[in-house]
Amino acid sequence: MNIGNFYEQCVQIKFESGLPGFQKVDRKLSDAGAEVLGMDKHMTQGMVNLVEPSVTARLRAIQARGRGYIKGNCWVWSDSKISDRGYKESGVQYVTMRSKLPDIEAKMRGLRKEFEQACESQLLSQWPRIRAEGAIKLAGRHQEHYNQSTQEIRDQCRWECEIVALPYMEDGHDMLDEAMQNLMRDQKQRVTNVLNSVAERMQGEVTDIIQRMDDYQFTPGDNRTGNTLPKEKGIKRLGRMADDAMHLCDALQNEGLKDGAEKIRKLIDHMKELGDGDLRDARSALSGEDDSMREEVKKQLNEIKDSVDTGVEALDKFMS
């Protein structure tokens, strides 16, 4: 396995986004409410919003889309393995292939612009009004939190997406120092965890498709009721996972997940044939009382699962 090549072809992505803390604990509020309702005040906690919840909800929704995009298009970069095929997420550290950077950068620039514009229109330009209304809406309480200037609020509205090269230390014959040996083990573990996470995603998607096919119920004259067959979106998502696995295997000069990825590509070709060249029509072709075509697809899917399992076992042997 050529780990050095992996480090050359991949980059690390760090993403963080923050907003001011607009929710505050109000002990008096919870105590008063507990007394009215006959509850134990030590079991309650009151919260107040300094800003209309709809405003922060819109901003957090953009943040969530950014995190979701990074998580869906990159791999967690961690040295902590917590299961046979799992990994421990390290917060905001991810890794991706350099070839995917143009799309990722374009998407994250667009989301950053959307976030900054929303912050400006929904929050920053409205801050003087929000401060003035806060005294009335909160009955004069928590006013100390409204003393921040617009600039101070702006400084807390953060959107940071940093792309950095992966530092790599090559193995050498004179590498006797324990710290250097630990570094090499750390590098190997991180790369293996990336491959394991790719395998997890592939297995998860395949398992979901198999379950959908098992849950299918034929309803004469109604192609919607009980139709849980996989849709084009899910099949294409599996294809992108296979592409990722192939790129990683090529970079690492390791065949671990390649067989599973190739089987996925054959499956997609087969489903296109069922739909006369269109994945959208494959769903209709698979429906009906006759389950022979569904069983053939399920057979291919189970072969993919077995192949990915074999690839993961090979990775585990590499790490042992």
Q: For 189-237, write each residue's pLDDT tens digit.
A: 788 888 888 888 899 999 999 999 999 988 887 777 778 998 999 999 9
Average of per-residue pLDDT across 296-313: 89
Average of per-residue pLDDT across 47-72: 92
With cut-offs at 50, 70 and 90, classify the pLDDT of residue 41: confident
With cut-offs at 50, 70 and 90, classify the pLDDT of residue 113: very high
Residues 213 and 273 in one domain: yes
Q: What is the DSSP string of 261-286?
A: HHHHHHHHHHHHHHTTT-HHHHHHHH
Quote the pTM value: 0.75
Rg, C-alpha atoms of the chain: 26
Nearest-10 Cα torsion for 104, 107, 110, 115: -90
Cβ distance 11 to 99 under 8 Å? no
Cβ distance 99 to 8 under 8 Å? no
| pLDDT greater than 60 at residue 11 | yes
**Domain boundary pick from 165, 192, 211:** 165
Average of per-residue pLDDT across 15-30: 88
Beta strands in the chain (DSSP E): 10-18, 23-25, 47-49, 75-76, 93-97, 158-165
pLDDT at 85: 43
pLDDT at 90: 40
Q: What is the DSSP string of 13-72?
A: EEEEEE----EEE-HHHHHHHHHHHT--GGG---EEESS-HHHHHHHHHHHHHHHHHHHH
Q: Is residue 56 part of a domain?
A: yes
Residues 148 and 183 in one domain: no
**Domain boundary pick from 123, 142, 165:** 165
pLDDT digits (tens, 9 = 90+) for 124-145: 999 999 988 888 888 888 788 8
Average of per-residue pLDDT across 248-269: 87
Cβ distance 107 to 69 under 8 Å? yes
Residues 49 and 11 in one domain: yes
Residues 80, 92: Cα–Cα separation, whole Å: 14
Instruction: Return the percentage of the chain with pLDDT > 90, whole number.
Output: 41
Decide: helix, strand or coil at residue 158.
Answer: strand
Residues 143 and 11 in one domain: yes
**Domain boundary pick from 165, 190, 217:** 165
Residues 175, 173: Cα–Cα separation, whole Å: 6
- State the average pLDDT for the chain: 85
What is the number of structural domains in the chain? 2
Domain span holding position 182: 178-319
Average of per-residue pLDDT across 96-110: 94
